[in-house]
Chains A and B, each alone.
Chain A
Amino acid sequence: MSNSTQNPRGIGVSPGAAVGPVVQVRAHVRPPEHEPAAADPVAEHARIKEVFESVARTLEERAAGADETAQQILTATALIARDKGLAKGVLKELNAGKGPTRAVTDAVGTYAAQFEALGGYFAERVTDLKDVRNRVVARLLGQEDPGVPEFHVPSVIVAHDLAPAETATLNPTLVRAIITEAGGRTSHTAILAAQMGIPAVVQLVGARDIPAGTIVAVDGDSGEVTIDPSPAYQQELVGKRERRRTALAGSSGPGRTADGYPVKLLANIGGVEDAQSAAAQDVEGVGLFRTEFVFLSRDTAPTLEEQTDIYTKVFQPFGSRRVVVRTLDAGADKPLAFADLGPEENPALGKRGLRLSALRPELLDTQLEALSKAAKATSAEVKVMAPMVATAEEAAWFARRVRENGLPSVGVMIEVPGAAMAARHVMAEVDFGSLGTNDLAQYTMAADRMEGALSDLLDPWQPAVLAVIGAACEGAKVAGKPMGVCGEAGGDPLLALVLAGLGVNSLSMAPSKVGIVRYALGLHTMAVCQGMATAALDARTATDAHDAVLALAHEDLAALL
C-alpha cells in the first residue's frame, strides 16, 4: 500500500487521510535543579514582571484571533499573568533566596493549591495558572513558549498528548490531522478528533522527533504516518479519500444489511452544540447522550429548571428521532464538588456511575424529573439508561425510579463483564441494553483506559472482549430485549459488521464515522456478518480476529480501509 516499509505506525482513531506540514506542540520546561538565588531580588523581580507582561500581551494577541469560548479563556489567562498578587508572591519567593524560575513556579503553586482546595470551577482555573507559569518559565530560560505555537497554514498537529485546554484553542479549519505519541483509542484527543471529523493517529512512537515543517501523510484508518511522502503516495491517499467520498455519497438513510436487517445508526453527543450538529446529519438519532457536562465544574447541583432547559435544547433538534440519555456518570475520577465521596484507591472500580446515584439518589431523581419534563416538551423518543450497572437488582432499582418519573423506556449500559455474563437476568428488568465497549474492554482485560501503553489490551478486537459482547447479546436475546453498542467499537466499519453478526441492532458513534459504517452494512448480508462474528470469536489474537474478518469483507469495503 505505502511507498516504504519503515513508516511508523500508530493507532488510527479518527478516519480519513491528510497531508500537511508538521506543527510540533512543545512540552513545558521545568525549572533547572539547583537554580542559584537571585543576586538582586528587586532587579530580578522587575525582569520577571516584564516577562509576565510579555506573556499577557501574547495571550491577548491570541485572544483577538480566537473564537468566543477561547477568547474568554485567553483574556482571563492574560489577567492572571498581570495579577499584582501573583507578582507580590514572586517577590516574596525571590527574597526567600529562590532563583527566578523556582520563584515563579512556587508563587503559582501557592495559588494553585488554594484553588485546588476550593474545587469545582476553581480547580479548573489551575490549568490557566499553569499555562501562565509554563510560558513565563520557558521565556525566563530563553526558550519558546510551550503548547501549541501559532500557525497560519493548514497543518498536522503533533504532540505528546493534547490537553483539553490546548484543543480548545485549536482552529479546526487549520488542523488537517492530529498525531500524538501518547493517548489511546478513547483518549480526549481521539474522541475530539472524531467529533470534529479530523483524521487522527495516537501512540505513534517517535512522533515528537519529526522536525516542525516536515510534510507528513496521515492515514487515520490504518494509523500509518508517512514522512516526506512521494507524490505517488500522496496521490494514492487522495485517491482513497475520493473513493471513500464517492462510496459514502451513494449511501444514505437508515442502517441496513444488504438483505435488509435494520441496524440503527446513532450519534454519540455530549452537549447542546453536539446535538445541533449531529441532528443536521444523516443519523437515526442519539445512542449516547452523556450528561456529565451539566454537572461537572459546578459548585452546586444544577436545579430542575436548569436541567429541564438544557435537555429540552438537546432533544428539540432531533424532532421525533430517538435520543438515548445516559444518567450522570461521575465518581472519583470525575469528581463533583457537591457530591464528593472522597478519594478512592481504585476510582474505576469505585463508587461511580449508578453506584454514586444509589448513594445520592436525590441527584438522580432531579435528573429524571427534568428528563421527563423535557421529553414531554419535545417530540423526541426519549430513552434513559444507567451507567455501571453490575447486577439485576441494580437494574431493577433504576428501572423503578425511571418509570416512576413517567419515562416509558429504560435501559442499562453493559460495561461491567458481570452484567454481560448475567445479561438474561439484568435485561429482564429493563427495555434495552447498550454495550459500552470502552469500559467493557477495560474491565474484561483489567487494563486502565487512561494508560496509553496498554492500548493493545484495550483493542476491542480482543477475542475475549468479543466473547463477553457475544454473551451479553445472547442474554438479551433470551430476555427478548434489544442490545446496542455505544462505544468506539461501533464506529469501526469491520467491527460494526461483527457486532451486527453477534446480534447488536443499533450502533452509536461519533457522527463522522456513521457514513462508512452505513456503507459497510449495506454491502454485507446478515449471514456474512454472522460468519464474521464466528471467525472473530474463533481467532487466537486481536490481529488474527481483524484479519479473518477483513478476509471475509466485500472487496469494495476493503478498498476503502
Chain B
Amino acid sequence: MATRTVTIASSVGLHARPASLFVQAAGESGLDIEIGRPGEEAVDATSILGVMALGAKHGEEVVLTAEGEGADEALDALVTLLSRDLDAE
C-alpha cells in the first residue's frame, strides 16, 4: 500500500474548484484511493461529497493511500496537485 502525507496549499482549502480537480484526478487513476486526516478515518478520494465534507483547510496535513499497480505514481501526481494553490490558478 502506498502512502503520502501532504499539506493543502490551496488558499480556500480542499473545497470548491480544488476539490473538483482533486476528485477528477483521483477518479482518472482508476485506483482505490483514500484521503483523510492523519490518524482519522479516511474517505473515498473519488467522492466529491466525501472530500468536501472532510473540510480540509489551507495548511492542514492530509494522508493519501492507494493500492494496486501504479499506486505510487498516482499518489505522486495527487501530491503535486494538492501542493499548488489551485484556487489562484
Give every chain A residue within 8 A of B47 (Cβ-Cβ): 83-86
Q: In the complex the two chains form, what is the Cα distance from A1 to B45 in whole Å?
A: 63
**A214 interfacial by beta-carbon distance below 8 Å:** no
Residues in B30-84 with C-beta less than 8 Å from chain A: 43-44, 46-50, 52-53, 55, 57
**A114 interfacial by beta-carbon distance below 8 Å:** yes
Q: In the complex the two chains form, what is the Cα distance from A197 to B44 in whole Å?
A: 46
Interface residues of A (CB under 8 A from B): 72, 75-76, 79-80, 83-86, 111, 114-115, 118, 121-122, 125, 129, 299
Given A85-B44, A129-B49, 14 more A-B residue pairs with CB atoms under 8 Å apart are A75-B20, A76-B20, A76-B48, A79-B24, A83-B47, A83-B48, A83-B50, A85-B47, A85-B50, A111-B53, A115-B52, A121-B16, A122-B52, A125-B52
Q: Is B53 touching A79 in the complex (CB atoms < 8 A)?
A: no
Q: Which of B13, B43, B49 contacts A86 (CB 8 A)?
A: B49
Give every chain A residue within 8 A of B43 (Cβ-Cβ): 85
Q: Is A84 touching B53 in the complex (CB atoms < 8 A)?
A: no
Tell me the minimal C-beta distance from B82 to chain A in angstroms.
Answer: 17
Known: A111-B53, A115-B53, A118-B53. A84 touches B46 (CB 8 A): yes
How many residues of B are in contact with the other chain, CB < 8 A?
A: 20
Known: A80-B49, A86-B49. A299 touches B17 (CB 8 A): no
A to B CB contacts below 8 Å, 15 in the list: A72-B20, A76-B19, A79-B23, A80-B48, A83-B47, A84-B46, A84-B47, A85-B47, A85-B49, A111-B53, A114-B53, A122-B52, A125-B52, A129-B49, A299-B57
Tell me the minimal C-beta distance from A297 to chain B in angstroms.
Answer: 9
Give every chain A residue within 8 A of B49 (Cβ-Cβ): 80, 83, 85-86, 111, 129
Give every chain B residue within 8 A of A75 (Cβ-Cβ): 20
Give every chain B residue within 8 A of A86 (Cβ-Cβ): 47, 49
Q: Is B55 touching A118 in the complex (CB atoms < 8 A)?
A: yes
Q: In the complex the two chains form, what is the Cα distance from A125 to B48 in whole Å?
A: 11
Q: In the complex the two chains form, what is the Cα distance from A118 to B57 in whole Å?
A: 13
Q: In the complex the two chains form, what is the Cα distance from A299 to B50 in whole Å?
A: 18
Interface centre among B19, B20, B43, B49 (most CB of A within 10 A): B49
- A-B complex: 8 closest residue pairs judged by Cβ atoms: A79-B48, A85-B47, A76-B20, A85-B50, A83-B49, A84-B47, A83-B47, A85-B49
Question: Please, which residue of chain B has its CB at the minimum distance from the CB of A110?
Answer: B49
Q: In the complex the two chains form, what is the Cα distance from A363 to B64 in whole Å?
A: 37
Q: In the complex the two chains form, what is the Cα distance from A75 to B15 in whole Å?
A: 14
Give every chain A residue within 8 A of B15 (Cβ-Cβ): 121-122, 125
Q: In the complex the two chains form, what is the Cα distance from A118 to B23 in whole Å?
A: 20
Tell me the minimal C-beta distance from B48 to chain A in angstroms.
Answer: 4
Give every chain B residue within 8 A of A72 (Cβ-Cβ): 17, 20
Q: In the complex the two chains form, what is the Cα distance from A114 to B50 in whole Å?
A: 11
Tell me the minimal C-beta distance from B42 to chain A in angstroms.
Answer: 13
Give every chain B residue within 8 A of A80 (Cβ-Cβ): 48-49
Question: Please, which residue of chain A has its CB at the minimum distance from the CB of B23?
Answer: A79
Give every chain B residue within 8 A of A299 (Cβ-Cβ): 13, 57
Give every chain B residue within 8 A of A122 (Cβ-Cβ): 15, 52-53, 55
Question: Please, which residue of chain B has its CB at the minimum distance from the CB of A129?
Answer: B49
Give every chain B residue within 8 A of A84 (Cβ-Cβ): 44, 46-47
Q: In the complex the two chains form, what is the Cα distance from A121 to B44 in whole Å?
A: 21
Q: In the complex the two chains form, what is the Cα distance from A111 to B53 in whole Å?
A: 9
Give every chain B residue within 8 A of A129 (Cβ-Cβ): 49
Give every chain B residue within 8 A of A125 (Cβ-Cβ): 15, 52
Q: In the complex the two chains form, what is the Cα distance from A115 to B12 in whole Å?
A: 16
Q: In the complex the two chains form, what is the Cα distance from A115 to B51 in whole Å?
A: 12
Question: Please, which residue of chain A has its CB at the minimum distance from the CB of B47?
Answer: A85
Question: Please, which residue of chain A has its CB at the minimum distance from the CB of B55?
Answer: A118
Tell me the minimal C-beta distance from B9 to chain A in angstroms.
Answer: 16
